Amino acid sequence: MADKIYPYFTEEHEIFRQQVRSFCEEQLAPHADEWEEEGNFPRWVFEKMGELGFLGITYPEKYGGAAADFWTKVVFAEELPRCQSSGVLLSVLVQTDMCTPAIVTFGNEEQKEEILRPAIQGKKIGAICVTEPNAGSDVAAIRTTAVKDGDNYIINGSKTFITNGAKADWLTLAVKTNPQKGYSGISLFLFPTTTPGFTVTRKLNKLGHRATDTVELAFEDCKISKKYLLGEEGKGFYAIMHGFQYERLVGCIAGVAGIKLLLQETVNYCKERTAFKTKICAFQANAHRLADLATEIEAAQSLIYHCSDMVNRGLNAIKEVSMCKLYVGELGVKAARECLQLHGGYGYIEEYHVCRAYRDVMLGTIGGGSSEIMREIIARMMGLYS
Residue 139 belongs to domain with CATH number: 2.40.110.10
Band the pLDDT of 183: cuts 50, 70, 90: confident
Q: Under a CB-based contact definition with an 8 Å cutoff, are residues 263 and 281 in contact?
A: no
Q: What is the CATH number of the domain that holds 376?
A: 1.20.140.10
Cα–Cα distance, 176 to 156 (Å, whole number): 10
Is the same domain home to 351 and 255?
Answer: yes
Q: For position 243, what pLDDT does the model report?
A: 84
53 belongs to a structural domain: yes
Residue 170 pLDDT exceeds 50: yes
CA distances from 298 to 209, 282, 328 (A): 25, 22, 11
Final residue of a structural domain among 124, 156, 171: 124
pLDDT digits (tens, 9 = 90+) for 263-293: 999 999 999 999 999 999 999 999 999 999 9
Is the same domain home to 174 and 244?
Answer: no
139 belongs to a structural domain: yes
Q: For position 139, what pLDDT does the model report?
A: 87
CA distances from 187 to 44, 240, 271 (A): 32, 10, 55
Q: Which residues of 85-105 are buried (b: 16+ CB within 10 A; e: fewer)?
A: bbbbbbbbbbbbbbbbbbbbe
Cα–Cα distance, 359 to 342 (Å, whole number): 16
73 belongs to a structural domain: yes
Is the same domain home to 290 and 327?
Answer: yes
Cα–Cα distance, 243 to 317 (Å, whole number): 12
pTM: 0.95
Band the pLDDT of 3: cuts 50, 70, 90: low
Q: What is the CATH number of the domain that holds 118?
A: 1.10.540.10
Q: Among 133, 131, 188, which residue's Cα sits nearest to residue 155?
A: 188
Amino acid identity of residue 50, one-letter, is G
C-alpha neighbours within 13 Å on the C-beta side of residue 40: 12
Is the same domain home to 136 and 115?
Answer: no
Final residue of a structural domain among 81, 101, 124: 124
Q: Among 41, 47, 54, which residue's Cα sits nearest to residue 124?
A: 47
Length of the chain: 386
Is the same domain home to 119 and 205?
Answer: no
Residue 2 pLDDT exceeds 80: no
Band the pLDDT of 1: cuts 50, 70, 90: very low
For residue 351, count CB atoms less than 10 angstroms from its CB and return exposed for 0-12, middle for 13-18, buried for 19 or more. Answer: exposed
222 belongs to a structural domain: yes
Q: For position 241, what pLDDT does the model report?
A: 84
Strand partners, 146: 155
Is the same domain home to 242 and 301?
Answer: yes
**Phi-psi domain of 209 (left: phi exceeds 0; alpha: psi -120 through 50; beta: other):** left
Residue 316 pLDDT exceeds 50: yes
Is the same domain home to 291 and 372?
Answer: yes
Is the same domain home to 217 and 174?
Answer: yes
DSSP string, 200-222: EEEE---SS-TTS-EEEEEEEEE
Q: For position 264, what pLDDT does the model report?
A: 97
Q: Under a CB-based contact definition with an 8 Å cutoff, are residues 48 and 27 in contact?
A: yes
370 belongs to a structural domain: yes
Residue of 114, 247, 320, 338 marked active site: 247
Task: Tell me the percentage of the chain whose pLDDT exceeds 90.
Answer: 91
Cα–Cα distance, 78 to 70 (Å, whole number): 12
Is the same domain home to 242 and 373?
Answer: yes
Q: For position 107, what pLDDT does the model report?
A: 96
CA dihedral 126, 315, 313, 323 (to 10 degrees): 70
Q: Which residues of 190-210 are buried (b: 16+ CB within 10 A; e: fewer)?
A: bbbbebeebebeeeeebebbb
Is the same domain home to 248 and 377?
Answer: yes
pLDDT digits (tens, 9 = 90+) for 97-126: 999 999 999 999 999 999 999 999 999 999
Is 351 annotated in the active site?
no
Residue 156 pLDDT exceeds 50: yes
Alpha helices in 123-281 (DSSP H): 236-272
C-alpha neighbours within 13 Å on the C-beta side of residue 185: 16
Is the same domain home to 246 and 365?
Answer: yes
Pairing of β 145-149 and β 214-225: unpaired
Q: For position 272, what pLDDT does the model report?
A: 95
Residue 4 pLDDT exceeds 70: no
What average pLDDT does range 41-70 have in this prediction?
Answer: 97
Final residue of a structural domain among 181, 211, 234: 234
Q: Under a CB-based contact definition with an 8 Å cutoff, are residues 237 and 305 in contact?
A: no
4 belongs to a structural domain: no
Cα–Cα distance, 243 to 231 (Å, whole number): 14
178 belongs to a structural domain: yes
What average pLDDT does range 189-217 have in this prediction?
Answer: 97
Q: For position 6, what pLDDT does the model report?
A: 80
Residue 194's domain comprises 127-234
Band the pLDDT of 127: cuts 50, 70, 90: very high
Residue 61 pLDDT exceeds 60: yes
Domain count within the chain:
3
Cα–Cα distance, 158 to 177 (Å, whole number): 15
First to last CA, the chain: 45
Q: For position 304, what pLDDT does the model report?
A: 97
Cα–Cα distance, 89 to 373 (Å, whole number): 24
Average pLDDT, the chain: 95
Residue 278 three-state SS: strand
Residue 5 pLDDT exceeds 80: no
Is the same domain home to 243 and 368?
Answer: yes
pLDDT digits (tens, 9 = 90+) for 345-365: 999 998 899 999 999 999 999
54 belongs to a structural domain: yes
Q: For position 48, what pLDDT does the model report?
A: 98
pLDDT digits (tens, 9 = 90+) for 208-264: 999 999 999 999 999 999 999 999 999 999 888 888 888 999 999 999 999 999 999
Q: Under a CB-based contact definition with an 8 Å cutoff, are residues 148 and 178 in contact?
A: no
